[in-house]
Structures are given as C-alpha cells and as structure tokens.
Amino acid sequence: AIVALSVNRQSQFNLAPSAEAFPAMTQALKPLIPYVLVIAAVVLFYRLALDVSMDEFSAPRLLPVIMLAILVYEHVSLKNRKGKASGEINHQGLERSLRGATNDTTAEIGALLLLLGLSVSIGGVIERAHLMEAFPQSFDSAWSAMLLMVVILVILGMIMDAFGAVILVTATVATIAYSSGIHPIHFWMV
C-alpha cells in the first residue's frame, strides 16, 4: 500500500508537522468520545451483568442493542441541545426515528431475501441443466483445473450473489477441484 501511494502520487505529500496536526486531530476526535463511551457501556453491561463476551456469536445480538443505545443517546443529547439553543436542531423524536429506520431496514432485507431467492433459483437451474457434467470430473494438472475454476467462478460471480454462489460451488465445482488435487484452502481462497 505504501509503495502504491508513493509511486502513484503526482505531487509531494503535504503533511502538517505533528505539533500542528495533533491538536487539530484531538479536536476532531472529541465529538466521537460519547459514542465510544456508549459502545463501551453496552459491551461492559453485557460482559459484567449478563456474562456475554463480545465475539462473532454474540455480535448479532449486541450490535442492534449498541445501535439502539446510540439512538437513545442522540435523542437525549439533541433534546438537551435543543433546550439550550432553540431552532438550531430539527429532531423528529426517538419513536419516529425508530419507525423510519425499521421501515428502511425492512425494505433492504426484503430486497436481499429476493436476491438470495433468485440466486438460489439460478443455482438450481444451473444444477438441473447438468452444465457441470460437461466438464471433466478431474484434471491431471492442478494448474489447468484451477484455470477452469477461475473462469467458472468469474462467470458465476457475474450472475449470482456471493451466498448463492457458495452453495452452488460447494455442491458442484468444489468436488472437481478436490479430485484434481487442489487443497480446499487454496480453492476457497480463489
């Protein structure tokens, strides 16, 4: 990344001296401190009161609570600011914010589910058409097998989303790669 940044630049880096940049950076970070404290409070509450640590299994339950805590914090802080300086902030209230966020999320999830359903149906069409039987079930050379796998994966990536493609690849293409001597880690890295 550093090589790309330094070679690809058409002008010199204009970095401010640290004595000038550090105070501006700390000033810009000050508004983020309450949000960090809210996130830390929710995570600590879950850890100490409920004995739930933050990991990949508890994150789907923790993140919505963190988002709601941030919404409550913003509602309270905006209400306090509105009382101090009237007319500056147009805030619609917590319930209306939650309803709007829920409606937007519902539309996004519906679109994602539709995309997943269509992707799985395309995968079913490809599988029932027996297109993969047109390819050899194993190759003598791992290089030629990997070349074909890359071409197949690029084509699948153009017409399917990632979740449906993983299901289809696991059922069809992965077995050809494994029988050709390609290690599963190398195959799934591609």
Q: Are residues 70 and 125 in the same domain?
A: no
Q: Which of 22-26, 33-37, 75-79, 84-88 has the highest mean pLDDT?
A: 33-37
Q: Are residues 40 and 125 in the same domain?
A: no
Pick from 52, 74, 91: which residue ends a domain?
Answer: 91
Residue 72 falls within a domain, yes or no?
Answer: yes
Residue 101 falls within a domain, yes or no?
Answer: no
Question: What does the alpha-carbon distance between residue 151 and residue 119 come to, in Å, rounded to a whole number?
Answer: 19
Q: What is the tens place of the pLDDT at every residue in 91-123?
A: 567 778 778 888 888 988 988 888 878 877 877
What residues make up the domain containing 82? 1-91
Contact 188, 173 (CB under 8 A): no
Residue 172 falls within a domain, yes or no?
Answer: yes
Coil, helix or strand for 180?
Answer: coil
Residue 57 falls within a domain, yes or no?
Answer: yes
Q: Are residues 83 and 14 in the same domain?
A: yes
Q: Are residues 13 and 77 in the same domain?
A: yes
Q: Are residues 86 and 127 in the same domain?
A: no
Phi/psi at 174 (5° precision): -65, -35
